[in-house]
A = this chain, B = another copy of it.
Amino acid sequence: MEPVRLSDLAVQLDAELIGDGDVMISGAAGLEHAGAGDITFVARGGLLEALARSSAAAVIVGADVEPDRPALRVKEPYQTFARILARVATPLDRIFPPGIHETAIIAEDAEIGTDVCFGPGSVIAAGCKVGNGVRLGANVVLEPDVVVGAGSVLYANAVVRERCTLGQRVILHPGCVIGADGFGYLPGPRGLEKIPQVGLVIIGDDVELGACTCVDRATTGVTEIKAGSKLDNMVQVGHNVVIGNHSVFSAQTGIAGSCEIGNGVTMGGQVGLGDHVKIGNGVKIGGKSGVHNDVPDGSAVFGYIALEARESMRIISAWRRLPEMVKTMAKLERDMKRLENGDKE
């Protein structure tokens, strides 16, 4: 990051300057990692002790926090910090050197926008349409008739199968696979027969998909992830699933075929959804949950067989009483028998 005066940063970020504005900022890091020259952030007062131990040059604070060093005061400290992180990040031009590498393989009839970067060994097959400013890492493969919207970034070894479509500013991390065949078979005379998977995948604008995440093509019709949704690494999305806008799934979650997921849904890691499940808008699903039934808008669910989250937590708390309950119940049965026989202890 280009070194910048704290007072200039205050102006650029629309922040209130506290203390010495001449401090030079040359990096940004979290409280535990910040060194001299770095700006860090403290979202809540409880972290002031940790701040005192930090050698950060300056700190971003919210309304209620009194900093012990030069600072920027803003409404949302983490958001402001994230904006500075963007300056610290390795420029995309270093990861994706501008231009088309001489070893990239581009079909004659592919339509290629301006300012694209295609890495070594990347493959753009027949009929593809690649928008302006798209960056493809090394060995990325676009199978025939794929569409990639402007500004999308596909890291090394990502694969998009035939006829699938990515919107604008989509990010695919390394090893991500879009449009592999959905998983469908029918019993036939010689064993299982493959049901041809002739549908597509459509990925909306600003979707980000993690490393080795797989989104299967539809049997017929479309598997769709709508604009703004973010899926972590190794997430599985089955055929004909529809995921709404701005939904967020953590790593290793699996969505079986034909599920319909609303907008603003969050899922923890290793969640599993059975097929044809409908998840409403704004639903929160705890990590490792197994969801077999539809979940209405705004609910929070959790559990091996997911239930309303508070009920599930009560059940799980009660599990710990169970071994003792087995004994108590046996005692109650004995006592009951004795009482019924008219005995006293």
Contacts and interface: CB of A to CB of B under 8 A. Distances in A.
A248 B322 CA distance: 32
A168 interface: no
Interface stretch (A7-15, A44-52, A65-73, A251-259): A251-259
Contact of A320 (B220, B269, B315): B315
A53 interface: no
Contacts of A329: 325, 328-329, 332
Interface string A215-259: 010111110000110101110101010000110101110101000
B123 A183 contact: no
A221 B32 contact: yes
A156 B141 contact: yes
Interface in A301-345: 304-305, 307, 311, 314-323, 325-326, 328-329, 332-333, 335-336, 339-340, 342, 344-345
Interface string A164-177: 00000001011101
A282 interface: no
Interface in A246-279: 246, 248, 250-252, 254, 256, 268-270, 272, 274
A290 to B, nearest CB: 5
Contacts of A270: 254, 270, 272, 290
A292 to B, nearest CB: 8
A85 interface: yes
Contact of A88 (B161, B196, B305): B196
Q: Looking at A214, A246, A311, which has the most chain B CB atoms within 10 Å of its CB?
A: A214
A177 B183 contact: no
A281 B62 CA distance: 37
A233 B141 contact: no
Contact of A290 (B34, B78, B252, B288): B288
Contacts of A197: 89
A119 B125 CA distance: 10
Contacts of A130: none
A129 interface: no
Question: Which 9 residue pairs of A and B lie closest in terms of their CB atoms, listed nearest first?
Answer: A33-B221, A85-B196, A29-B220, A141-B156, A159-B174, A318-B322, A191-B228, A180-B211, A177-B211
30 contacts: A32-B221, A33-B199, A82-B193, A82-B195, A82-B196, A85-B195, A85-B196, A88-B220, A90-B144, A94-B144, A94-B162, A139-B157, A155-B180, A157-B159, A159-B175, A173-B181, A180-B211, A180-B233, A183-B232, A183-B233, A185-B230, A211-B216, A214-B233, A214-B234, A319-B319, A325-B329, A329-B332, A332-B332, A332-B336, A335-B336
